[in-house]
Amino acid sequence: MQLKSVTRPAGRRRALLLGVAVASALAVAACGSSSSSTTSSASSPASSGGSSSTAASSSSSSHKNLTIALVPGLTVDPFYITMHAGAAQEAKALGVNLTWQGGTTFSPTAQLPVVNALLAKNPSALLIAPTDVNALKAPIQKFVNASIPVIAVDTTINDTGLLTAAITSDNTQGGAAAADAIAKLAHDKGDVAVDNVNPGISTTDARAAGFINEIKTKYPNMHVVATEYNNDSATTAESQVRNLILSHPSLVGVFATNLYGAQGAGTAISAAGKTGKVFVGAYDAEPATVALLKKGAINVLVIQQPAVEGKDAVLYAYDKLTGKSSQIPKNTLVPNVVATTATASDPNITKYYYVTSFSG
Ligand code: T6T
């Protein structure tokens, strides 16, 4: 089932079309090309369509000196690998250079040295998935002070005034969708728990809040009995969910807010023989989580469109660097796609599954 999407402003349509190109070029349909993004703008978005397209085709050779740096939350996560693929496709189409550097764990400790080293290289623009809403503010401020525009992609920081734009999935909606799906399977009653990453991550915090709020406001006979933090570790998530099963006999559902939590929660449910008894709603579609979805150890997967996010981020950076700032939406919300065990092999769903490698 694909969730409601809203058409982009006319000036963004070229990005949408490029999304199609990314999906075909990768032959994996990772980017959810047919969906569009909702955008809102602090300045006014372009009212006349196609100007980026014209600029891209006429100027691709004259912008070879532009280097856009993409710093993911971590480099080994299929979500960010798929984002890289979308960004690289867009950079190629626009004739700009794209660099990709990051840590191998999702933490400010791993990300800060990468970001600080990048500043010395003076890229034309920085695209970043900040690993913490506060810890990345000071380094991002340094880029802004050096007149290097910064676009947040996926996660963001608290001080959004520093950013040229922010692109993310509809995280609140994704959490609420998981809550509704679990409630339906559990006949609107019982205890549920959240397995989150770490406090201070904008995306996963919003997903957890969306889930908890939906349960509290719509399901009076359901109760959120615990929130655990797994530090982006599937192994930790697995042992947390095993413990939740033991300590909460009325547990009917677990919401895992990202890919590693999903792997851990699904594995725990399967190992404990709780498939079909404790329902799992979770985020992100890569081979391990899709396998768990297919066998019913995960019941619902909220799938994002990271290639679309990466592509949009490169386009907005290009617009900023080529004098088209008025075309850039301040906030872009990319819709989710929700998969269930029943739809896991449907081509309309599988085209959104993430890639696990990209060497662009
Ligand atoms: O869920 C994605 C991303 O959106 C989130 O910000 C961090 O975790 C992932 O990368 C999945 O591991």
DSSP for 133-167, written as a single string: TTTTHHHHHHHHHTT--EEEESS--S-GGG-SEEE
Q: Residue type for 116, please?
A: N
- The residue with tokens 């950076």 is 317
3-state helix, strand, coil in the chain (%, to 5): 45, 20, 40
- The residue with tokens 């570790």 is 233
Confidence of residue 51 (pLDDT cuts 50, 70, 90): very low
Rounded distance, CA 358 to CA 84, Å?
Answer: 8
Q: What is the mean pLDDT of the chain?
A: 87
Q: Residue type for 309, please?
A: E
Q: Is 336 helix (H, G, I), strand (E, B) or coil?
A: coil
Contact 149, 321 (CB under 8 A): yes
Segment 304-357, tens digit of pLDDT? 999 999 999 999 999 999 999 999 999 999 999 999 999 999 999 999 999 999
Q: Closest Cα to atom 9, ligand 1: which residue?
A: 258
End-to-end CA, the chain: 31
- The residue with tokens 């190629």 is 92
312 alpha carbon – ligand 1 mean position (Å): 17
Confidence of residue 57 (pLDDT cuts 50, 70, 90): very low
**Domains of the chain in sequence order:** 9-14+32-169+305-333 (3.40.50.2300), 171-303 (3.40.50.2300)
304 alpha carbon – ligand 1 mean position (Å): 9
105 alpha carbon – ligand 1 mean position (Å): 12
Confidence of residue 278 (pLDDT cuts 50, 70, 90): very high
Q: For ligand 1, which residues put their CB under 6 angstroms from it?
A: 73, 77, 79-80, 154-155, 203-204, 258-260, 283-284, 304
Q: Tell the burial category of 217 from Cβ atoms under 10 Å away from its Cβ (0-12, 13-18, 19+).
A: exposed
**What pLDDT was estimated at residue 360?**
79
In this prediction the pTM is: 0.87
Beta-carbon contacts of residue 57 (< 8 Å; ≥ 6 apart): none
